[in-house]
């Protein structure tokens, strides 16, 4: 699914852009993707969000991607667009936005965006009730969440709107209530995953446990 879309993008435009999700759910999928015979030199990797820690920190989304995908697949450094979240969060957000715009323009059309979802319905680092959900112009913002030990840097809702495909990866019974809310059909800031809109397709890849609260009528 992801590999096919990336291969098609490279075939059509000579390059592809993949936004990686953080957290732990994607680890297995990244390991499988790393084994796909893809033209990684033409595939540029971005990050949906990052924790404000050094890139080698155990909480770093970059470190997780490096261990599971970047190193095993041999993705060249020039194809990896890391969020330099060890810097001042606002500076890191501005630098990452400049990097995105330089390659993809002010309204980026990422070929594939991978996203996870927390049990509270957050996605990337867009958390329930966060003022970052109201951001309508900047592509990247710093996010400070009271319950989190460190600030975050995250793509904002406008950054996703031009995506050609958004794929959510959601597993586990703890996410079932949020998934039901996210798929209820309306954008609810209390469940930020429900606010993700894109001009392309939005696909939810979920396991039975995460889907256990979906009613018969849920699309
Ligand atoms: C992060 C992620 C975040 C993640 C969800 C789900 O930096 O934490 O970007 O949005 O996708 O929290 O995390 P798990 O996959 O670990 O459940």
Q: Tell me the pLDDT tens digit for each residue of 84-102.
A: 999 999 999 999 999 999 9
Q: Which residue's CA is the closest to the ligand 1 atom numbered 8?
A: 23
Query: Which ligand 1 atom lies nearest to the CA of residue 25?
Result: 15
What sections of 126-194 are H helices per DSSP? 157-160, 176-182
Query: Which ligand 1 atom lies nearest to the CA of residue 23?
Result: 16
- Rounded to the nearest angstrom, the distance between the alpha carbon of 14 and the centre of ligand 1 is 30
Mutual orientation of helices 2-13 and 27-34 as an angle, nearest 10°?
Answer: 50
Q: CA-CA distance, 69 to 35, in Å (whole number)?
A: 9
pLDDT of residue 49: 98
% of the chain residues with pLDDT over 90:
95
Going by pLDDT thresholds of 50, 70 and 90, the confidence category of residue 215 is: confident
- Mean pLDDT computed over every residue of the chain: 96
Q: What is the best residue among 19, 20, 22, 207 to mutate for testing ligand 1's pocket, by most ligand atoms within 8 Å of CB? A: 22
pLDDT digits (tens, 9 = 90+) for 28-76: 999 999 999 999 999 999 999 999 999 999 999 999 999 999 999 999 9
Residue 218 has pLDDT above 70, yes or no: no
């Amino acid at each position: 699914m992801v590999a096919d879309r990336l291969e098609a993008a490279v075939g059509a435009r000579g390059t592809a852009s993949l936004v990686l999700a953080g957290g732990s759910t994607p680890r297995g999928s990244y390991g499988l993707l790393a084994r796909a015979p893809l033209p990684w030199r033409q595939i540029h990797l971005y990050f949906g969000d990052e924790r404000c820690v050094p890139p080698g920190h155990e909480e770093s989304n970059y470190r997780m991607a490096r261990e599971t995908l970047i190193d095993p697949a041999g993705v060249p450094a020039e194809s990896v667009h890391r969020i330099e979240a060890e810097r001042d969060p606002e500076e890191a957000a501005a630098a990452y936005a400049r990097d995105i715009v330089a390659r993809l323009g002010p309204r980026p059309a990422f070929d594939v965006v991978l996203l996870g979802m927390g049990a509270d319905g957050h996605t990337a680092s867009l958390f329930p009730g966060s003022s970052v959900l109201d951001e309508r112009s900047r592509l990247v913002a710093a996010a400070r969440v009271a319950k989190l030990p460190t600030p975050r840097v995250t793509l904002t809702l406008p950054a996703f709107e031009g995506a050609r495909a958004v794929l959510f990866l959601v597993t586990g019974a703890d996410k079932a209530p949020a998934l039901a809310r996210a798929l209820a059909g309306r954008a609810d800031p209390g469940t930020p995953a429900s606010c993700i809109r894109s001009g392309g397709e939005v696909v939810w890849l979920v396991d039975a446990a995460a889907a256990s609260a979906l009613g018969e009528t849920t699309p």
